[in-house]
Amino acid sequence: MSHRTNLAAAFLAAALSLSTVAAAADPKLEIAKQGYVFAGGHYDSAHPGNHLIGQLYAEYQIPARQTHKFPIVMIHGGSQSGTNFTGTPDGREGWAQYFLRQGYAVYVVDQPGRGRAAYHADAYGPAAALSIDFVLQRFAAPERFNLWPQAHLHGQWPGKPEQGDPVFDQFYASQLPSIADFAEQQELNRDAGAALLDKIGPAVLLTHSQSGAFGWPIAQARPNLVKAIVAVEPSGPPVHDIAFSGTPNYFADVPKTKISGLGDIPLAYAPPVSDQSPLEFVQQDKPAAPDLVKCWLQKEPARKLVALDRIPLLIIQSEASYHASYDHCTVAYLAQAGVRSTYVRLADRGIHGNGHMMMLEKNNAAIAKVMADWLGKTLQPVDGVKTAAH
């Protein structure tokens, strides 16, 4: 066995030992039932093989003492899989285990065409993968590149953010190609997400990054089954994505316009949107602060987003992520469209140094507690909850 292999093995053994010690201080984790379910999809008779496409995969665990009526459905972001929530690259417990310990049933999703939900190129079209440079810039080491004003504040990555470090290598090994067409991803996940709720019943949606664009249409498709949305740095900002270029200007709008303001597929508004009556957008004259982007909003009078105003919504933003420059725009866009949210900047809660992949970082449990506290106030726990049927 090589010296490097010995070091990696020793590192992971130490991490697992620390994880065991930390878990011992938490509520005991006892699982009453676990398994998996595929939801959505159809047979593709248009291509050879008649493959089943469009389905998502969800792995579920139900704690022995389930104290919360509604399970949490965790949907990962771009180029990721459900492993974002089932552990960390340095061997600690993830958000799935945290919420199980709090008495929630948990469903961890692999999106259609990702992970254990098979990718079929003939049906889904080309796939795109993240380069190691992009992963370092956006996720593991933004402080090294300073492409946005808040990047230098990052300091919670659990290891050395570089090729060859065992923690970084574990994370980079988890990256997966994604369907290149983002609008197609939104359609697939809307339909599969709705089908999952049809199977399991009412639930909380926990979205992250790219999957933030899926939460809104899923909720509109099944408004009575989405009991709350926890949107962790949801896909944004509205109307135009941002290209980051570093100092001195930092931000530039990507020319492509999001047809529904929040995404690339239609959302239901009142009054309705049509080809003859499309959404119209205007940009702020100046940003709210020098380190923030100029937000895009609807041209007044603004239309209201259908059904979303009835669903409790929490938006979480970290201190050092590229989202720190624009998540306030998502909050403002939703508010203008009649959707109130609880907007938590983690730095305001004394939680500092996090980047976009906060569920994997050193203080991931502190962030989970913020979400759990909000859910506890929003959705009251109950005793004697029956486990979901499949």
Nearest Cα neighbor of 34 from 89, 98, 77, 96 is: 96
Do the strands 203-208 and 178-179 form a parallel or antiparallel pair, or are they unpaired?
unpaired
E-strand stretches of the chain: 31-39, 42-43, 52-53, 56-63, 72-75, 106-110, 127-128, 178-179, 203-208, 226-232, 242-246, 250-253, 269-270, 281-283, 296-298, 304-305, 313-317, 342-345
The one catalytic residue in 79, 174, 178, 209 is 209
Residue 153 carries which DSSP code? G
Q: Return d(Cα 336, Cα 301) in angstroms, integer.
A: 9
| Chain-centre distance for alpha carbon 81 | 10
Residue whose C-alpha is closest to residue 58's, from 75, 84, 36: 36
Between CA 220 and CA 239 the distance in angstroms is: 19
Q: Where are the alpha helices (DSSP H) in 323-363?
A: 327-336
Q: Are 276 and 294 in contact (CB under 8 A)?
A: no
Residue 384 · residue 257 · CB < 8 Å? no
Beta bridge partners of 42: 53
79 is catalytic: no
SS3 content of the chain, % helix, strand, coil (to 5): 35, 20, 45
The residues annotated with a catalytic role in the active site are 209
